[in-house]
Homo-oligomer: A and B are copies of this chain.
């Protein structure tokens, strides 16, 4: 009985296997277009052609499914990084919330600047000031408590310009790209300079990326038994910064395979793209270029905004992209819409 049933299943599985449309069957603009929020053109074609060639078994560029690793930066690549990183908005809100317990903050920088809304002084404090803010707002509680705080914040906080929860601001074309890659056997990872435990509470719901496929910056934690119950306490000490040269380091340490596709938007992503491109086989490297000040923001070489600490896109990055054959995605020209709520 079980034996017959098994044979039946193999036959059924074989039929099922022949079902899904292949990448090459899908034509841009038809009902089966997997990237409907992308305008037809060279950028969209580059994606379709790449996926087609690495998933076609008799292609010289064929890549086995387990090696189809795609890595995505988060801020500025999957959702906005302006007017400031989402995580900084969280840190500022958290400092304000904790201020009553810290009267000394009224007269101590960078806390004074936060409480007075003085962004100029805050920016002048540089990295040292930022680290102080992160330590004061992200450490000193258990990992479970931090997860609860972050989850609660995501439920209530709104983006100052779009007046919506940050979790609704994922770029619709990138959501389609993530889904399209996964439908073609890719495993999608986030590799972000953002805090790993700040992202994990929302990545599965927003991007379809589970916590174990999120790589990010860390602070150290310590295992303790608290009242008979084990807890991990978040310490005010940086563990690892997953940015710039840290991105290949993080990819190697957390994933242990080299990506064949990588997506970024700033100078901090250059090394991740270099590392991906140096794998030896066919690969795809893309940079989201923020040139749409009307629907989102414009910065970088051709942008209207000045470069800010939140996702700098230098001329040198643009030059390296051109030299290396990386695809620059123009948000203005390549994307039919930016957000799911756009018409």
Binding site for B on A (CB under 8 A): 2, 5, 8-9, 12-13, 15-16, 19-21, 31-32, 66, 69, 143, 187, 196-197, 200, 204, 210-214, 218, 221-223, 225, 229-230, 232, 239, 245-246, 248-249, 252-257, 271, 274-275, 278
Residue picked from A211, A230, A246, A253, most chain B C-beta under 10 Å: A253
A212 proximity list for chain B (CB < 8 A)? 69, 187, 212-213, 254-257
Contact (Cβ within 8 A) A12 B19: yes
Contact (Cβ within 8 A) B2 A21: yes
The residue that A271 contacts in the complex, of B66, B230, B246, B255, with Cβ under 8 A, is B230
Contact (Cβ within 8 A) A32 B2: yes
Shortest beta-carbon distance from A311 to chain B in Å: 20
Contact (Cβ within 8 A) A252 B12: no
What are 28 sample pairs from A and B whose C-beta atoms fall under 8 A apart? A5-B19, A8-B19, A9-B16, A9-B19, A12-B12, A12-B16, A13-B16, A66-B204, A143-B252, A187-B212, A196-B253, A196-B256, A197-B256, A211-B255, A212-B254, A212-B255, A212-B257, A221-B249, A221-B253, A223-B245, A223-B246, A223-B248, A223-B271, A223-B275, A230-B271, A230-B275, A232-B249, A239-B253
A-B CB proximity, top 5 nearest: A211-B256, A223-B245, A9-B19, A212-B255, A200-B256
Shortest beta-carbon distance from A316 to chain B in Å: 14
The CA-CA distance from A246 to B221 in the complex, in Å, is: 9
Contact (Cβ within 8 A) A66 B210: yes
A213 proximity list for chain B (CB < 8 A)? 212
Shortest beta-carbon distance from A300 to chain B in Å: 23
Given contacts A66-B210, A223-B245, 15 further A-B contacts (CB under 8 A): A9-B19, A143-B252, A196-B253, A197-B256, A210-B257, A211-B256, A212-B254, A212-B255, A212-B256, A221-B252, A222-B245, A223-B246, A225-B274, A230-B275, A232-B248
Contact (Cβ within 8 A) A230 B278: yes
Chain B residue at minimal CB-CB distance from A229: B278
A20 proximity list for chain B (CB < 8 A)? 9
The CA-CA distance from A35 to B126 in the complex, in Å, is: 58
Contact (Cβ within 8 A) A222 B210: no
Contact (Cβ within 8 A) A2 B31: yes
Residue picked from A66, A252, A274, most chain B C-beta under 10 Å: A252
